[in-house]
Amino acid sequence: GRGLCQENSEHGGISRQVDAAVGDVVGCYPKVMVLGMPKAGTTSLHEAFKSAGLNSVHWSLPVGEGLDMVEEDRLLMLMQKEIDRRLVARLVWRAHSEGLPPFAYLPKEIDALAEMNGMVFDDELGAWGYFPQMSLLETIFDTYPNASYILNVRNMTRWVKSVTEFLRMRDRMTMSELHNLPRGVGDKDEDFVPWVENHHERLLEEARRRNIRLLVFDIEKHGAKELS
């Protein structure tokens, strides 16, 4: 069967009310999704998707006209500004908590998700984070079996350095309660690296079992030029 895709004005016109009983909602979900880690080529993939004519989102939804997206993203990360409207991970978390398909609250015109995880500082918790590609991996595959998926990877030593140095991203990860990475764990590389490697192995296995269309892309080996 085919599900319904409708705007829901109750949520500011950016939501979709999707028939949760239907597994694959044709034309009502991102066609391409990146399931690897941040700081592993997601920006290059995002730009490549846009160059190919896709409407791509990279962890946060666009801001209003006249606003500086870089500054608004900084305020979102540091102060949770408009977290419930703009943070992709928060919208996915909310949809799942309400029993809806994972991407039910994303704008219906999105073609590609270049990065779906999100981590923001939180005064009470330290940080709030959510990695749908980990917490909902099987659900995403089973709900959107006809989408194309990308596992983005890179050299782990360089990845750890990048995450550690970029806007306290590693702090935001270790201060959050993430799938298979409890709050407070991840300061040591021997805990942090296997967490990512286990995700890669599980993703490859689940995709193989379901015959999912999956591309493994190593930004350091293939380079952004190969995406054009």
β 126-130/5-8 pair status: unpaired
Q: Is the pLDDT of residue 13 over 50?
A: no
Neighbours of 212 (CB within 10 A): 20
What is d(CA 36, CA 46) in angstroms, rounded to the nearest whole number?
Answer: 13
φ/ψ of 85, rounded to 5, equals: -105, -35
- Angle at which helix 156-165 crosses helix 189-210, to 10 degrees, equals 120
**Range 99-115 average pLDDT:** 95
Read off the pLDDT of residues 43-102 as tens digits, 9 standing for 90 and up. 999 999 999 999 999 999 998 878 999 999 989 988 889 999 999 999 999 999 999 999
What pLDDT digit, counting tens, does each position of 150-181 carry? 999 999 999 999 999 998 999 999 999 999 99
The confidence score (pLDDT) of residue 24 equals 40
User: What pTM was computed for the model?
Assistant: 0.85
Res. 198 pLDDT band, cuts 50 70 90? very high
Cα–Cα distance measured from residue 177 to residue 180, given in angstroms and rounded to the nearest whole number: 9
Name the pLDDT band for 20 (thresholds 50, 70, 90). very low
User: What is the per-residue pLDDT for 65?
Assistant: 75
Cα–Cα distance, 17 to 10 (Å, whole number): 10
